[in-house]
Amino acid sequence: MSGVGQFIRGQLSTPPKPQVDLTGRTILVTGANSGLGLEAAKLLAQLNCDTIVLACRSLTKGETAKQTILQSISSSSGGRPQATFVVFELDLCSFSSVIAFSERCKDLPRLDAAILNAGVDLQEFTLAEGYETTLTVNVISTFLLATLLIPIMRGSAKKYSITPTLAIVGSAVHFAANDKDLATPAEGQIFKTLSDPKKADMKGRYFLSKLPVMLLVKHLASKLTKSAEQDPNNKALIVVNNVAPGLCKTNLFQTHADTSTQSRAQHHRAIEPAWSADVGAWCYGGKRDSWAVFERVSGQKV
Query: Around 12, how many Cα atoms within 13 Å sit in the side-chain half-sphere?
Result: 6
DSSP annotation string for the chain:
--HHHHHHHHHHSPPPPP----TT-EEEEESTTSHHHHHHHHHHHHTT-SEEEEEESSHHHHHHHHHHHHHHHHHSSS--TT-EEEEEE--TT-HHHHHHHHHHHTTSS--SEEEE------SS--EETTEEHHHIIIIIHHHHHHHHHHHHHHHHHHHHT---EEEEE--GGGGGS-THHHHSSPTT-HHHHTT-TTT--TTSHHHHHHHHHHHHHHHHHHHHHHHHHTSTT-----EEEEE---SB-SGGGGGGGSS-HHHHHHHHHHHTTPBPHHHHHHHHHS-STT--SHHHHHTS--
Residues in a beta bridge with 239: 165
Minimum distance, C-beta of residue 175 to ligand NAP, in the bound complex (Å):
12
100's CB contacts (< 8 A; 6+ apart) are 89
* Cβ proximity to ligand NAP, 228 vs 275, nearer residue: 275
* Cβ proximity to ligand NAP, 64 vs 225, nearer residue: 64
Active-site hit among 42, 66, 131, 206: 206
Minimum distance, C-beta of residue 4 to ligand NAP, in the bound complex (Å):
14
* Cβ proximity to ligand NAP, 146 vs 157, nearer residue: 146
Minimum distance, C-beta of residue 105 to ligand NAP, in the bound complex (Å):
15
* Cβ proximity to ligand NAP, 129 vs 181, nearer residue: 129
Catalytic residue flag (residue 210): yes
Q: Among all residues, whose Cβ is closest to ligand NAP?
A: 35
* Cβ proximity to ligand NAP, 18 vs 170, nearer residue: 170
Minimum distance, C-beta of residue 21 to ligand NAP, in the bound complex (Å):
25
Between CA 38 and CA 18 the distance in angstroms is: 16
Q: Interface residues with ligand NAP (CB under 6 A)?
A: 31, 33-37, 57, 61, 90-93, 117-120, 137, 169, 171, 245, 247-248, 250-252, 274
Sign of the dihedral through C-alpha 112, 228, 213, 101: positive
Minimum distance, C-beta of residue 65 to ligand NAP, in the bound complex (Å):
8
* Cβ proximity to ligand NAP, 32 vs 228, nearer residue: 32
Active-site hit among 210, 218, 226, 249: 210
Minimum distance, C-beta of residue 8 to ligand NAP, in the bound complex (Å):
14
Residues in a beta bridge with 166: 114, 240
Catalytic residue flag (residue 206): yes
Q: Which residues are catalytic?
A: 206, 210
